[in-house]
Chain A
Amino acid sequence: DAKTTQPPSMDCAEGRAANLPCNHSTISGNEYVYWYRQIHSQGPQYIIHGLKNNETNEMASLIITEDRKSSTLILPHATLRDTAVYYCIVIFSRDDKIIFGKGTRLHILP
């Protein structure tokens, strides 16, 4: 079973920040949180990952709560090209079985 829980779908207005939540209440101390997205039926694309601290790159920001039981992916200025399914994945540093959940389908509204 997936180790994460995400809402099945969300809407966001174009130009606004999209905040995608993820619950991972069973996460342990050395497990990373990763975010990928899948546009249409293409192969998934890496977005960002983190362990304890908040992270930012050119695509997004990742906010991880202090207890690490949940996180939020932030797309600061959503565009129509950000319409995709977003997957939050918890990865144990030496776990070979990486499980995708069903993700959140993000709709960007013009």
Chain B
Amino acid sequence: NAGVTQTPKFQVLKTGQSMTLQCAQDMNHNSMYWYRQDPGMGLRLIYYSASEGTTDKGEVPNGYNVSRLNKREFSLRLESAAPSQTSVYFCASSEDRALGWNTEAFFGQGTRLTVV
């Protein structure tokens, strides 16, 4: 039981390049989330998916797209990376719609992305 797995763990991109961050959970959770965390800051919600086939914007969605490929996987795509997107990205999952509604949420270990 791996929980929430994110790949890659580290990535360096050049400005304008594109890439997809992968996230998979093996807990049969309905809800999945993508957050970013900048140095010294808290987590900010980028996108979330309450169930397979649905996605919604969070606090900071600009510059990102997401795909809920199936119940297990939720990917985050940067179409044209910018230095402002240098951050640590966390994926999370929980059983119900609200993050941890009457249940705990599980986070991956993060993807450290640098855009130069």
Seen from chain A, the residues whose Cβ lies within 8 Å of a Cβ on chain B are 2, 32, 34, 36, 41-46, 49, 85, 87, 89, 91-103
Contacts and interface: CB of A to CB of B under 8 A. Distances in A.
A99 B59 contact: yes
A100 B34 CA distance: 13
B99 A91 contact: yes
A100 B58 contact: no
Contact of B98 (A41, A91, A100): A91
B98 A87 contact: no
Interface of B: 4, 31, 33, 35, 37, 41-45, 48, 50, 56, 58-59, 88, 90, 92, 97-102, 104-110
B42 A94 contact: no
Given A41-B110, A96-B48, A46 B98 contact: no
Contacts, number: 75
Contact of A95 (B4, B98, B102, B104): B98
A41 B107 CA distance: 12
30 contacts: A32-B101, A32-B102, A34-B100, A41-B88, A43-B92, A43-B107, A43-B108, A43-B110, A44-B43, A44-B92, A46-B100, A46-B106, A49-B102, A87-B42, A87-B43, A89-B99, A91-B99, A91-B101, A92-B98, A95-B98, A96-B50, A96-B56, A97-B45, A97-B58, A98-B33, A98-B99, A99-B45, A100-B42, A100-B43, A100-B45
